[in-house]
Homo-oligomer: A and B are copies of this chain.
C-alpha cells in the first residue's frame, strides 16, 4: 500500500525573513494532513465529532533536515505509527522533489494523540471507527 501523501503549497506568509517556512507552520500542515489522512481512510473529522470523540495532541517530535522555500511544492506523507489503548501516534514526513526530480525528506515528525470525549468526560479508549481509519501501524520512522 502506498503511503498517504497530502500536497502542500507553501503560502507566502509562511516563509519568514530567513527565506524558509517558519517552524510553527509545520505543525499547522501536520494538523491538516492528519485530517486529510483520516478522511482518505473513510473517517471525516465531522463524523468523529458527531460520534462523540475528538483528539488532543500530547506529544510531538520534529526533526528538520532542510528548509522549504516559497514556490517549492512539497507533500506531507502520513502513516499510523502506533495504536494504543487511549492514544495513537502518527508519523509525518515532508517530502520534496528537486529540479532534477530527486526526492528527499526535509522533515520528520511523530505526534501522539489521545482520544477524548467531546462531552468533557476525558480520555477514552480508541473507538472502533478511529481504529478502522488508522489501520495497521506502518511507522515511517523507527520506533523508540
Contact = CB atoms under 8 A, between A and B. Distances in A.
Interface stretch (A24-32, A89-97, A124-132, A133-141): A24-32
Nearest to A45: B71
A41 interface: no
A58 interface: yes
A4 interface: no
Judged by DSSP, the binding face of A is mixed
Contacts of A46: 71
Contacts of A12: 16-17, 22, 31-32, 35, 45
A15 interface: yes
Q: How large is the interface on A (under 10, 10 to 19, 20 to 34, 35 or more residues)?
A: 35 or more
21 contacts: A12-B17, A12-B22, A12-B45, A13-B22, A16-B17, A17-B19, A22-B28, A23-B57, A23-B60, A24-B26, A24-B27, A24-B28, A24-B31, A26-B27, A44-B71, A58-B63, A59-B62, A59-B63, A59-B64, A60-B61, A60-B62
Interface of A: 9, 11-13, 15-19, 22-28, 31-32, 35, 44-46, 54, 56-65, 67, 70-71
